[in-house]
Amino acid sequence: MAVPGGTQTPAYAVEKNPDGTLTISLRDLDWSGGPQQFRQLADRIRAAGFTAVIDRIPPGKLCRPDRGEPLNPQRSGGGKGSYKYVMTHADAFLVEEHLPGPIRKGSAVQYAHYFKPSFIKGPVKPCDAV
């Protein structure tokens, strides 16, 4: 199944494989885009029977970085930013949604709302927000 990403070519596709794995093909996906694209991708992954985790992180907090081993992508196609991830049932798609709010950078205060998506090999460790 393919999901449109606002262009003529789908931004991603989710495909079940005969060997029981799942292939997620990404093409020019806007990783800094809105939450709906990450939720839609997570929903597709879950619908296929695989794990997708979306954590909402309080403003000014970060999860400790070691939440699991990154799943290595395969470069696909000739397009810049085109990758394929092959997941097993042990793996997970992880999105850390950093909620909007003040973030102190030195003496200045900035407001940010951003996303950190990744594919994790094996189980995802819970977020330890610090």
Residue 126 lies in a domain: no
96 within some domain? yes
3-state helix, strand, coil in the chain (%, to 5): 10, 45, 45
How much is the pTM? 0.79
Is residue 127 one of the residues assigned to a domain? Answer: no
Check the CA dihedral 109-33-74-121 and report its sign.
positive
Tens-digit pLDDT profile for residues 57-69:
998 888 998 999 9
pLDDT class of 86 with cuts at 50, 70, 90 = very high
Domain count, the chain: 1
Number of other CB atoms surrounding residue 52 within 10 Å: 21
Range of the domain at 57: 2-121
Answer with the residue of higher pLDDT: 10 or 80.
Answer: 80
